Structure 1
């Protein structure tokens, strides 16, 4: 069976990033490198042929070839303030008229609520298209499930994020437990949110845990030129970006001192544009912490303990559903300096056996809907649910 796999042209890696301008890299990653891990995960779970494509190109492909359906890697498209291109999704799905399964759809709002939310008209049109096509929709958390039902979708199910189902090894839980119980955590990675507000305060508080190793402060989006900085594309971040980072991280000194301080700070930044390299490196870390859900899931799937700092209803709901250890940002900010890894582990009430049990239940639910849609499960996913 052959399916269109929307809505990015890649799923594992962005090739030759050194030859590409930052805007092309961002386009291929969908603005956030966590999308690569998300799509890689789906690819690792579905054995059928999936053709990576953007919307316009996918419609053109369907005019010249036969496809059995559409697989959507659905991110946080149900956002109450931004349409995130949902008008293109609605238009393409209607034009294609193929069976649709949407995997990992999420809702983003300022707070958790089960009351019906108001979405931009483009998002309402997208929900209408899913309803008209009787799409199978697998969602990240309970709030998303309830919002979809408010808008008339019937075939909606709670499965969490597919990035939860990458590691299928028999010793998965043992590795997580063993690494958590060590007395010393040398290689700690911080995954970053936004360079503003409480998440900036969080990053400043936790950055000392990394011992300021080069590449230990991971970014996924290009806020204030962060990905361009991490890739050393000096012509693609601005003086304003530099000034923002200097001010945010108090990089002082005279003119030359400021310049040297910025370059030293910039060397801390890292970004992964290849999922397999990300997972391989993550297996060598001792611990990861931060406000990115995929920045948390990559190390966990690589067998490295990680704790998510939940900054909103979306991340808290997803972590709670999946059993991923998390702490609320307001609680993290109350920790006394210097913060230790043990402080974070204790606050998160980390329990890997409970996590693995929840994961198996969710994986079985997830696999049942893939099967029902007619998709072939990979041996990797079969092992997780067995």
Structure 2
């Protein structure tokens, strides 16, 4: 039996309520992360092996030598599903993860990592992450035969940094291999109508996307916007608008029609997300995993690729897509649907999957699609699990969303909400993570410091008393001691 530590916010079976998902950032700021994390989990969860989620704590701060020693002692393999991690705003987390890996002695496998740059795919945009990328990849390749990357752009970047091409395996995103090599997607309807059920996903920062989203919502009353990131979840839960989006046409605030009409959703588990998208006729937008979720649900989807990350993945998996770095003209969803040809995607699935399976085997990882592997433990646990429903806006007509928030707040009997009765318990707390920076943590540190100072004073006074007993009358010394003890007890 092997014990595998896997980089995942949580395992695929544990239900975490939306409020806690946001408070403790269980989904790593984006629910799309669960797609590739849980797909890898499903692939590797074969008997008698045991998988344990690291809750992504290993990258939130620098790991200590004790943390690394514990991983080396308790686990046989560290598996790290990744996304677009070669980017400037992830550099500090990549640095922390690199420092940990450099201390590990067990095999360490990275699955599906990618670089992020503008649509022109220039390496110049990656200048700020060159050094940490070089250290990270070097540390990984010292502990595994190869590193699995999302596409040709990322592979070329690593070769450009000096790594051998035969140590860089292009495997795409493991999320698309959730159902194995035989998954196929076909049209449900010949054409779309004004009332067709549609799923929209979007990236708020893309130029012109606000006008696009508002126009789509006005023309299609059964369109639902499915959000993914922490700002979307905060808006739905607490009515807090996105702090960095100023375009009023983007559905990132309370007054947007999509919010007012309760036509926004967010899912904190993949399985309920798939169920919802399976009911739509078509899904489209700029989010890679938003469209992948639709394809995994058996619903046609079209990717509006706006940067190197989304374009690289769409090209590799031969997903229906078109380059859309900005939205400066009206777009017809009917025309998008007509242009959505799934033949190439369906044809590519078996070959792309075989590359993925070969990568796992090259790196010594047994998986459920190998002959004779027992994967019933995953299927059984998933069948027994239950998950929270979709998060709606606070404008839901039955007031259920407001009632849910109030119920959660009522249980918050302490000020530090990471100690909430419905908190997520980290299954493997490494680095030892106690919510540093919270009010609870600060008060605890202050209390410990005060007790330490008091003990130091007691030790000092005891030493003074011993000296006094040697040079003065015993009775006088005892009176002094009692006086000092009363003063300290106040």
Normalising by structure 1, what TM-score? 0.81
Structure 1 position 77, deviation (Å): 1.1
1:147 to 153, 157, 163: 157
1:179 to 179, 188, 197: 188
Structure 1 position 15, deviation (Å): 3.1
Question: Does structure 1 conserve the Cα–Cα contact (< 8 Å) formed by 2:145 and 2:362?
Answer: no
Partner of 1:198: 208
After alignment, is 276-285 or 15-24 more displaced? Answer: 15-24
Partner of 2:173: 161
1:233 to 238, 243, 248: 238
- Against the structure 1 CA distance between its residues 325 and 332, is the aligned structure 2 distance closer, same or farther, given a 3 Å change threshold? farther
- Against the structure 1 CA distance between its residues 77 and 250, is the aligned structure 2 distance closer, same or farther, given a 3 Å change threshold? closer
1:369 to 354, 359, 371: 359
- Against the structure 1 CA distance between its residues 21 and 77, is the aligned structure 2 distance closer, same or farther, given a 3 Å change threshold? closer
Structure 1 position 274, deviation (Å): 0.9
Question: Does structure 1 conserve the Cα–Cα contact (< 8 Å) formed by 2:9 and 2:28?
Answer: no
Partner of 1:50: 51
Question: Does structure 2 conserve the Cα–Cα contact (< 8 Å) formed by 1:11 and 1:52?
Answer: yes
Question: Does structure 1 conserve the Cα–Cα contact (< 8 Å) formed by 2:149 and 2:171?
Answer: yes
Partner of 1:281: 276
- Against the structure 1 CA distance between its residues 79 and 250, is the aligned structure 2 distance closer, same or farther, given a 3 Å change threshold? closer
CA distance in 2, matches of 1:306, 1:153: 35
Aligned residue for 1:105, secondary structure, equals: coil
Structure 1 position 61, deviation (Å): 4.3
Partner of 1:329: 324
- The answer to whether structure 1 residue 38 and structure 2 residue 16 are counterparts is no
Give matches, 1:11-22, under 5 Å. 11-12=11-12, 15-20=15-20, 22=22
Q: CA deviation digits over 1:241-288, x for unaligned, max 9? A: 59947x33599xxxxxx9776794372221110111111121111111
Partner of 2:337: 345
- The answer to whether structure 1 residue 77 and structure 2 residue 93 are counterparts is no
Aligned residue for 1:149, secondary structure, equals: helix
Partner of 2:229: 221
In terms of Rg, which structure is larger? 2
Aligned residue for 1:75, secondary structure, equals: coil
Structure 1 position 156, deviation (Å): 0.8
Q: CA deviation digits over 1:292-345, x for unaligned, max 9? A: 000000110110001111011111111011011012225864345xx23x2112
- Against the structure 1 CA distance between its residues 263 and 191, is the aligned structure 2 distance closer, same or farther, given a 3 Å change threshold? closer
CA distance in 2, matches of 1:243, 1:83: 23
Q: Which has the higher strand share?
A: 1
Structure 1 position 81, deviation (Å): 6.2
Question: Does structure 2 conserve the Cα–Cα contact (< 8 Å) formed by 1:323 and 1:354?
Answer: yes
Structure 1 position 96, deviation (Å): 1.4
Structure 1 position 45, deviation (Å): 1.7
Give matches, 1:351-362, under 5 Å. 351-362=341-352
Question: Does structure 2 conserve the Cα–Cα contact (< 8 Å) formed by 1:190 and 1:217?
Answer: yes
Q: CA deviation digits over 1:114-149, x for unaligned, max 9? A: 757524343332233224434521111111011112
Aligned residue for 1:334, secondary structure, equals: coil
CA distance in 1, matches of 2:11, 2:215: 33
CA distance in 2, matches of 1:352, 1:108: 26
Partner of 1:207: 217
Aligned residue for 2:68, secondary structure, equals: helix
Structure 1 position 382, deviation (Å): 10
CA distance in 1, matches of 2:273, 2:111: 22
The gaps in structure 2 that reach 5 residues or longer are: 374-490
Q: CA deviation digits over 1:179-202, x for unaligned, max 9? A: 153554621011121256333343
Q: CA deviation digits over 1:23-51, x for unaligned, max 9? A: 31xx2111111001111111122234322
Aligned residue for 2:169, secondary structure, equals: strand
After alignment, is 123-132 or 316-325 more displaced? Answer: 123-132
Aligned residue for 1:107, secondary structure, equals: coil
CA distance in 2, matches of 1:288, 1:62: 41
